[in-house]
Amino acid sequence: MITRNLIFILGDQLSRSLPNLMSADRKKDIVFMCEVAEETTYVPHHKQKLVFILSAMRHFAEELREDGWQVDYVRLDDADNSGSFTSELTRAVKRHKPQSVTLVHPGEKRVLGDIQRWRDTSETPLKIYDDNRFVTDLAFFQKWAEGRKTLRMEYFYREVRKATGLLMQGDDPAGGEWNYDQDNRKPASDDLFLPKRLRFEADAITRDVIDMVEDEFAGHFGTTEAFGYAVTASDAERALDHFIKEALPCFGDYQDAMLSGHQFLYHSLISPYINAGLLDPMKACQKAEDAWKAGKAPLNAVEGFIRQIIGWREYVRGIYWTSEDNYTRQNALNANRPLPGYFWSADTKMACVKAVVEQTRDQAYAHHIQRLMVTGVFCLLAGIDPHEVHEWYLSVYVDAFEWVEAPNVIGMALYADGGKLGSKPYAASGAYINRMSDYCERCQYSVSKKTGENACPYNSLYWDFLIRNRERLENNPRISRSYSTWDRMKDDRKADYLATAKGYLAQIEHL
């Protein structure tokens, strides 16, 4: 039988509604998938991230076979595995001699570049379909961005709301406001009723993958002991439904809160599933909207959840694909300090950083405020090299793919793109962490102490960061007030702040 199309499906495209799959014929086409060393090691991915992706790929392939597809699947431990997906694609073309290869547009520029180079040297035609696993396409973002001096997410988000009709009442936003973020900043406390989160037992396929990861990637960050992520679309749907019923009602109020010993609070934990193709983002938003319409979740919670998906997720993808190819190498603030070792070991006296790194090690997960306002702010204030920070985030989080991770880290957390994404650096002292968490209660550093021995490092590093970058930042209207505060300080107070910061930076590996 002549193979018409070889349908090449990448590891983060695990959707039955892929356009190249939807237009295919089970009798004439062959699905091709491969696990390769190149993709598992280009950064030292967290063990649970590897387990999630590889197990989800294997489950997806089995589901396709059960549905009548012929699937050519190359496992990582196959004896003849060449180690790169372009080499494996070449071998698959030789095996099946298809008339053409079809592929959905890759999510990352690195992968697209490899595919384009393969196409340039191959005699087999390659058709690349647009990625339909987003609420909008890239043309929508490009049209919105055209001619704008600044590209702020809030205004893009409003356009997506109008285009989708989500939380709209005619031409107006539901409730009269576009954004209810002001209602979503409550600190959490131990007396809250926190729902038990839905986690999934490993089946035989997942256990095989866990064993392989522990054998082949023993030196990688993290542990597989607590692995509980869904690896099928049906379980991902169950996780979404559980979140909407049990956690969404309180998600808005406490989405910025951080609480020791409670790793998930009211967060959805569905970003890995959406980013890998197991969940449809629009359907997730519609289910949340339905909960609001039924009176089962308040508007501030539903709006905040939907904004993360059709706002931030769509927006950062647009930023990624319209930015320079060297975006992950940008360093507008000239930050060149190496990433401290405790980002891997958690061996630090800073209770907030320790808690987030330990949670990341154990779950391959931390929520957006932990990423932005704890580890992100520390790296910003301390002047850590943005590319090293980018590679750390890309390595350690189960939902991290470069298209979504890089803008959030390079642009939002570190301001390394000079303000393309964010209107200001997210610089903050220890007061924010103290207000939104209980981390400071058991820290060896005192958050109320501004300078001197055992003062919270964030306090002096905040001012050191501002003074270090004054020439670039002091005219920014969103932080100019901080410079006015500094200028009114007495000289001896200024000297204390800068001396304390200098001492901490000199011993940054031992904080």
390-431 confidence digits (pLDDT tens): 999 999 999 999 999 999 999 999 999 999 998 899 999 999
Q: Are 365 and 393 in contact (CB under 8 A)?
A: no
User: Is the model's pLDDT at 12 over the cut of 70?
Assistant: yes
- Using CA atoms, how far apart are residues 39 and 35, in angstroms rounded to an integer? 8
Strand (E) or helix (H) holding 157 = helix 153-164
Given this model, what pLDDT does residue 186 score? 75
pLDDT for 87-146, tens place per residue? 999 999 999 999 999 999 999 999 999 999 999 999 999 999 999 999 999 999 999 999
Distances in Å between the Cα of 43 and the Cα atoms of 26, 65, 76, 279 are 36, 31, 17, 25
Closest CA to 500 of 468, 455, 440: 455
User: Is the model's pLDDT at 149 over the cut of 90?
Assistant: no
- Using CA atoms, how far apart are residues 137 and 239, in angstroms rounded to an integer? 26
Given this model, what pLDDT does residue 192 score? 67
What is the average pLDDT score of the chain? Answer: 94
**Cβ of 165: how many Cβ atoms within 10 Å?**
11
Lookup result for tokens 């961005």: 145
The confidence band for 1, taking pLDDT boundaries of 50, 70 and 90, is: low
Q: Are 389 and 344 in contact (CB under 8 A)?
A: no
Closest CA to 461 of 428, 420, 488: 428
- Using CA atoms, how far apart are residues 490 and 156, in angstroms rounded to an integer? 43
- Using CA atoms, how far apart are residues 19 and 424, in angstroms rounded to an integer? 39
What pairs with residue 5 in β-bridges?
100
Q: What is the mean pLDDT of residues 222-248?
A: 96
- Of the ranges 75-84, 186-195, 353-362, the best mean pLDDT one: 353-362
Cα dihedral 136, 404, 46, 245, rounded to 10, equals -50
User: Is the model's pLDDT at 13 over the cut of 90?
Assistant: yes
Distances in Å between the Cα of 361 and the Cα atoms of 72, 290, 343, 479 are 34, 35, 10, 34
Given this model, what pLDDT does residue 185 score? 73
Given this model, what pLDDT does residue 182 score? 80
pTM: 0.95
Residue 240: exposure state from Cβ atoms within 10 A (0-12, 13-18, ≥19):
buried
- Using CA atoms, how far apart are residues 379 and 387, in angstroms rounded to an integer? 11
Residue 223: exposure state from Cβ atoms within 10 A (0-12, 13-18, ≥19):
middle
Distances in Å between the Cα of 159 and the Cα atoms of 162, 175, 223 are 5, 17, 41
- Using CA atoms, how far apart are residues 33 and 44, in angstroms rounded to an integer? 22
User: Is the model's pLDDT at 251 over the cut of 90?
Assistant: no
- Beta strands across the sheet bearing 100-104: 71-74, 30-34, 5-8, 100-104, 126-129
> 198: which 2 tokens?
């839905």
Contacts of 380 (CB under 8 A, 6+ apart): 335, 413, 414, 415, 425, 426, 427, 465
Domains of the chain: 5-129 (3.40.50.620), 138-197+247-322 (1.25.40.80), 329-510 (1.10.579.10)
Q: What is the mean pLDDT of residues 230-251?
A: 95
Q: Are 309 and 438 in contact (CB under 8 A)?
A: no
Sign of CA dihedral 248, 249, 254, 259: negative
Contacts of 252 (CB under 8 A, 6+ apart): 180, 183, 184, 298, 300, 301, 302, 303, 304, 305
**Cβ of 182: how many Cβ atoms within 10 Å?**
8
pLDDT for 176-223, tens place per residue? 999 887 877 777 776 667 788 899 999 999 999 999 999 999 999 999
Q: What is the mean pLDDT of residues 46-72?
A: 97
Contacts of 503 (CB under 8 A, 6+ apart): none
Instruction: Sort residue 262 into left (φ over 0), alpha (ψ -120 to 50) or beta.
Output: beta
Count of residues in the chain: 511
DSSP strand pairing (71-74 vs 5-8): unpaired
pLDDT for 267-285, tens place per residue? 999 999 999 999 999 999 9
Given this model, what pLDDT does residue 253 score? 84
The confidence band for 248, taking pLDDT boundaries of 50, 70 and 90, is: very high
- Using CA atoms, how far apart are residues 243 and 249, in angstroms rounded to an integer? 9
Instruction: Sort residue 199 into left (φ over 0), alpha (ψ -120 to 50) or beta.
Output: beta
pLDDT for 438-481, tens place per residue? 999 999 999 999 999 999 999 999 999 999 999 999 999 889 89
